Chains A and B, each alone.
Chain A
Amino acid sequence: MSLYKRIIPCLDVDNGRVVKGTNFINIVDAGDPVEVAKRYDAEGADEIAFLDITATHEGRTTIIETVEKVASEVFIPLTVGGGVSNYNDVLNLLSAGADKVAINSAAVKNPTLINQVTDKIGRQCIVAAIDVKTENKGSWSVYTHGGRNPTGIDAFKWAKELSDRGAGEILLTSMDRDGTKNGFDLELLNLIAKEVTIPVIASGGAGTLEHLKDAVLIGKADAVLAASIFHYSIHSIQEAKEYMKKHGVLVRN
């Protein structure tokens, strides 16, 4: 048997508040992170992900305070990402109460960072985040710095390398789909989730409950991450779980 599939709502945090926007514009306040996270926990979310969208120096201090507040009130695993650049950043977030830290651009710049960190604190703490874009049909490359910088690295090879270097999970975001609500890139997911031996979290494109189910059944994802579908209260976590269960996906109830 495989493990129960996880549903992970993702909070974009800016200056200590949850924000939501469309394609990085029209950003509006969506509440206090503690309250939002508590609501998701009560609704049955399996984990909470935080993305620090400012990720500046001040943003880093704020995110640590935010993680501390949330970790005191929410008792499910917390993943924090955005602007994590070295071992100290990881340690500071873990001390603040994060259970896992997502590393993205810093791993591309210095791949041995993944080995260094996981050798010391274990692979379960590190989520390797990959932002990818379709180059040609059937080929995807890795972008860094919030999707601004192309690296020319093949996404499939990079995912394997991150796994070999000790990452505990892969958070795979399709830039083509992110924010579109047109569904996950199932071809990309399937390619990577079948090949790597660590869990793959699908991200980018969730707009309906059917998309969440497809990510698991067709894309072979181990977990699905979604933001707007839950923030806008289009669906509750509970509805998502009931829908997935009805379609034969094992979920925690």
Chain B
Amino acid sequence: MADIAIIDYGMGNVHSVFKALKKVIDKNSKVKVTNSIKDILNCTHIVFPGQGAAAECMSNIKNNLDIVEFKKIIVQKPFLGICMGLQVLMTHSDENDGAECLNILGGDVLSLKNKVKSSIKVPHMGWNKIDQKYRHPLWANIPNNSFFYFVHSYYVQPINNENILSTTTYGTTFASGLFRDNIVAVQFHPEKSSKIGLKMLENFILWDGEVQ
């Protein structure tokens, strides 16, 4: 039985994540869209989505959440970051004029356009393969090299390669997922990745936050 909190800090569309989680939870579980620290403290699983630009995202987080409390809770229970919800966990983002992020996972958020050849279209928008780099419970019953849906112009580069959950190749090979202890975070959108994406969300809900 899970009690899932989707963090809403005013960045983009949380509806699709909500609908996808609704679809995969059992009848005893609950899912709620919230920015209340009390809800986040009481839930069993945190889902942290996000769209848009890093600087705006960080300022919205600061305006909508008690950052000190939130950073404490992030490391306590199963936590899933999606898209911008991955990028803001890093130390620093190069997007816009640069933005300091939450610094939960060490590393930078870099421009894909600066990294790939000019013939490669950015944003990276569409379906691409995930190469699973760590046998994480999130991948249960998901074959390696499955397709997931991406929409992004920046990518994360962690300091510690041991945090890499998966990689994806689009003009360059980048980390499409990171993990550490109770935290998993992905660049792609499981809520838009058809059956495989729903399976990943289901795996997350069933996960107790332990990594072997």
Q: Known contacts A1-B171, A41-B194, A75-B191; is A169 also within 8 Å of B125 by CB?
A: yes
Find out whether the CB atom of A124 lies under 8 angstroms from the CB atom of B194: no
**Residue B151, interface by CB 8 Å:** yes
A2 to B117, CA, bound (A): 11
Interface residues of A in 2-59 (CB under 8 A from B): 2-4, 6, 41, 46
Is the C-beta of A172 less than 8 angstroms from some C-beta in chain B?
A: no
Q: Does A252 contact B (CB under 8 A)?
A: yes
What 1/0 mask marks residues of chain B from 119 to 149 whose CB sits below 8 Å from any chain A CB? 0111111111000000000000000000101
Distance A47 CA – B193 CA, assembled complex (angstroms): 10
Residues of B within 8 A of A122 (CB): 12, 51-53
* Residues A124 and B151 in contact, CB atoms below 8 Å apart: yes
Q: Which residues of A contact B193 (CB under 8 A)?
A: 75-76
A71-B15, A71-B19, A75-B192 are known contacts. Are A1 and B170 too (CB-CB below 8 A)? yes
Name B12's contact: one of A41, A76, A121 (CB within 8 Å): A121
User: What does the 1/0 interface line of B184-212 toward A look like (CB < 8 Å)?
Assistant: 00000001111101100000000000000
Q: Are A97 and B15 interface neighbours, CB within 8 A?
A: yes
Contacts of A169 in B (CB 8 A): 125
Q: Is the CB of B125 within 8 A of A168?
A: yes
Q: Which residues of B contact A73 (CB under 8 A)?
A: 23
Contacts of A3 in B (CB 8 A): 121, 124-128, 170
Are A168's CB and B192's CB within 8 A?
no
Q: Which of A1, A76, A95, A253 contacts B192 (CB 8 A)?
A: A76
Bound form: Cα–Cα A3–B149 in Å? 11
Which residues of A have CB within 8 Å of B120? 2
B13 at interface by CB-CB < 8 Å:
yes
Contacts of A223 in B (CB 8 A): 126
- Grouping DSSP codes into helix (H, G, I), strand (E, B) and loop, the B interface class, with mixed when no group exceeds half, is mixed
Q: What is the bound-complex CA distance between A96 and B151, given in angstroms?
A: 19
Q: Does A176 make an interface contact (CB < 8 A)?
A: no
A76 touches B121 (CB 8 A): no
Contact of A97 among B19, B125, B126, B149 (CB under 8 A): B19
Question: Using Cβ atoms and an 8 Å threshold, which residues of chain B touch A197?
Answer: 121-122
Is B103 an interface position by the 8 A CB rule?
A: no
Other-chain residue from B121, B127, B197 in contact with A6 (beta carbon distance below 8 A): B127
Given contacts A72-B19, A75-B20, contact A198 B121 (CB under 8 A): yes
Of A99, A121, A168, most B-chain CB atoms within 10 Å: A99
A97 to B194, CA, bound (A): 15
Q: How far is the CB of A42 from chain B (nearest CB, A)?
A: 8
A121: chain B residues within 8 A (beta carbon) = 12, 51-52
* B63 beta carbon closer than 8 Å to chain A: no
Q: Which residue of A lies closest to B119 (CB)?
A: A2
Neighbouring A residues of B124 by C-beta, 8 Å: 3
CB pair B125 A46 closer than 8 Å: no
- In contact, A75 and B128 (Cβ under 8 angstroms): no
Given contacts A75-B192, A99-B16, contact A124 B123 (CB under 8 A): yes
Contact B194 A76 (CB under 8 A): yes
- When distances are taken between beta carbons in the complex, the residues of chain A under 8 Å from B20 are 75
**Is A181 positioned at the interface, with any CB of B under 8 Å from its CB?**
no
Q: Inside 8 A of B169's CB, which chain A residues have their CB?
A: 1
Q: Please tell me if A131 contacts chain B, counting CB pairs below 8 Å.
A: no
Residue A80, interface by CB 8 Å: no
Query: Closest approach, in angstroms, between the C-beta of A45 and any C-beta of chain B?
Result: 9
Cβ–Cβ contact A46 & B19, under 8 A: no
Measured CA separation A6–B121 after assembly (Å): 15
Contact status B123-A46, CB under 8 Å = no
**Among all A-B residue pairs, the 6 with the closest Cβ atoms:** A252-B127, A124-B151, A252-B147, A3-B126, A72-B19, A4-B127
The 23 sampled A-B contact pairs (Cβ below 8 Å) are A1-B171, A2-B120, A3-B124, A3-B127, A3-B128, A3-B170, A4-B147, A41-B194, A46-B127, A72-B19, A72-B23, A73-B23, A75-B193, A75-B194, A76-B149, A77-B192, A97-B19, A121-B52, A122-B52, A123-B123, A124-B51, A124-B125, A222-B126
- Sample of 9 further A-B pairs with CB below 8 A, known A3-B121, A71-B19, A75-B198: A2-B120, A4-B126, A4-B127, A4-B128, A75-B191, A168-B123, A197-B121, A222-B121, A222-B126
